[in-house]
Amino acid sequence: MKFSYKKIPLSVKILTGMGLGIIFGLLAVQFGLSKFTSDWISPFGEIFVRLLKLIAIPLILVSLIKGVSDLRSTAGLSTMGIKTILFYISTTIIAVCLGISLAYIVRPGNFFPKEQQQTLCEKYSENVESSQVEAEIVTKKGPLSFLVDIVPDNIVLASSQNTMMLQIIFFSILVGITILLLPRKKTKSFRKFIDSSNYIVLKIIEIVMLYAPIGVFALIASVISDIAGDDPSGSLSLFKALGMYVLTVTLGLFILLLLFYPILAKLLGKVKYTKFIKAVLPAQIMGFSTSSSAATLPITKKCVEDNLNVNPKVSSFVLPIGATVNMDGTSLYQAVAAIFIAQVFAVDLNFIEILTIIITATLASIGSAAVPGAGMIMLLIVLSSVNIPVEGLALIFAVDRPLDMLRTSVNITGDSVISVIINKAHSKIKT
């Protein structure tokens, strides 16, 4: 039988890229090749992430305008919208509560060696300060500023920044609704233009995906080499000190992945979990490699549409909103991290303070941008809401990247499950 590269499933190719990336990264650490890796390997990962981000905004614009304008009426859109938001908020709250419960059961703070506290606080104090500046910008705003922020005052400006995805979503829905309200004759040529643009964007995604195995290889290799640097023993002892904390977050994320989402997918989406995981695996790996739900969006969309038959009208609406506001992994991580830091600094939290953590972690995860490290910056808001020392952030800085990779995978899995559920509920929508 003739070997054909084309016939190998995408997930196998990406997994191979990831495996080779791990091997290369470990070898680079072993042989002190971190400079070589950052000079000659990581640019190929950077190019991949740029390509994905490049296509994310055109994808949202075109597919959302098309998705909304193809609906029969605005009533369908509003019920889908309300259901989606309700699902997103409830899964996030469940994730926070799971994180808090695990942090109280495992008590990771009690395993943290006290002598490391001072060293870490000094080592990462600068990083904490710069995160504080970013978090302050958010907290200084009024309570309704998030609503104001959703509405763009300049669409060109909003499209130029990947962190303003909600504004693009708002604009696209507005254009879609306007098309619905106008007589069809008047919008004929624009709809044709959007249809063709949609084909072009989807083809570009296919082209970019050809490069995915190499991109994933380069991303994973450089992350491993960045984390360990040329001093693997130093990083290893840090990981040991923070081992219980890392374990608690990881355990929570895996409970979401292997227990919570399967139940949701089976009960409400009527999809077997093995089928579901197989279908979204490429997107999960991409989330893991890029640490960005926004960059992963094109692949998440392709996976649920091609492998789970989710109607593009549903995925075009549910997934971009999910990538920006639905971050179950991030909210769970923020809950565990807050309680871990409180335990290390011996801060006792009462019932009201725990409730405050539930509310702020939910809001902070919604407010986190879908880019690497955003969840950690927003964690500062959670910490300050209950007077946990913000310097505590320094304790967890060193292990944030691997946890970010994991939580991003969980974030996009959560979005995919909800897209399947909403698709089931709106199965009457015609493609």
3-state secondary structure 126-186: HHHHHHHHHHHHHHCCCCCHHHHHHCCCCHHHHHCCHHHHHHHHHHHHHHHHHHHHCCHHH
Closest CA to 345 of 403, 391, 397: 391
Q: 135 and 378 in contact (C-beta within 8 Å)? A: yes
For binding to ligand ASP (CB under 6 A), which residues are involved?
A: 291-293, 327, 330, 368, 370-375, 404, 407-408, 411
Task: Compute the distance between CA of residue 45 and CA of residue 51 in angstroms, rounded to an integer.
Answer: 10
Nearest CB to ligand ASP, comparing residues 69 and 291: 291
At its nearest, how many Å lie between ligand ASP and the CB of residue 31?
30
Nearest CB to ligand ASP, comparing residues 71 and 335: 335
Q: Alpha-carbon dihedral of residues 172, 174, 175, 177, nearest 10 degrees?
A: 120
Task: Compute the distance between CA of residue 331 and CA of residue 327 in angstroms, rounded to an integer.
Answer: 6
At its nearest, how many Å lie between ligand ASP and the CB of residue 244?
20
At its nearest, how many Å lie between ligand ASP and the CB of residue 347?
23
Query: Which residue has its beta carbon closest to ligand ASP?
Result: 375
Nearest CB to ligand ASP, comparing residues 241 and 376: 376
At its nearest, how many Å lie between ligand ASP and the CB of residue 373?
5
**Which contacts qualify for 230-238: CB closer than 8 Å, 24 or more apart?**
230/29, 230/32, 230/34, 232/29, 232/30, 235/398, 238/116, 238/398, 238/399
Helix axes 273-290, 293-308, angle to 10 degrees: 160
Nearest CB to ligand ASP, comparing residues 91 and 330: 330
At its nearest, how many Å lie between ligand ASP and the CB of residue 174?
25
At its nearest, how many Å lie between ligand ASP and the CB of residue 287?
7
Q: 77 and 265 in contact (C-beta within 8 Å)? A: no
DSSP 110: G
Nearest CB to ligand ASP, comparing residues 280 and 370: 370
Helix axes 328-344, 351-367, angle to 10 degrees: 140
At its nearest, how many Å lie between ligand ASP and the CB of residue 372?
5
Structure tokens at 417: 């499950």
Nearest CB to ligand ASP, comparing residues 102 and 429: 102
**Angle, CA of 292, 293 and 298, to the nearest 5°:** 110
Nearest CB to ligand ASP, comparing residues 33 and 256: 256
